[in-house]
Amino acid sequence: MDQSMQQFLYPSAKFHGSFSIDSLVFDANLQEFSQRVGYISNLHTGGKLSSDEAFEQIRQLWEDLNKTHS
C-alpha cells in the first residue's frame, strides 16, 4: 500500500500533550478508537451491521480503550 493510501485509510494527528509514555499510548489508542467507531457507524448506516452489532462492537472498543487510560 502506498503512503498516500495509508494516510487516507489510517489518518493520525500529532501528539500535543505533555509527554509521557502512558499519554502517548493513550493518544494513539484514542485515535484508533475514533477511527474504528467511524467505520462501524458507516457500516451500520449502510445496512451492513445491525444496531445491536454496532453497539456491541463499540462497547467492546470502549472497554479496551478504558483499560489503557491511566
Confidence (pLDDT) at 35: 93
Contact 27, 17 (CB under 8 A): yes
Q: Does some domain include residue 9? A: no
Residue written as cell 462501524? 40
Number of domains in the chain: 1
Q: Does some domain include residue 23? A: yes
Q: Whole-prediction pTM value?
A: 0.76
Q: How confident is the model at residue 15 (pLDDT cuts 50, 70, 90)?
A: low
- Decide if pLDDT at 54 tops 90: yes
- Decide if pLDDT at 8 tops 80: no
Q: Does some domain include residue 2? A: no
Q: Does some domain include residue 52? A: yes
- What is the C-alpha separation between 30 and 50, in angstroms, rounded? 24
Domain of 49 in residue numbering reads as 19-68
Q: Does some domain include residue 8? A: no
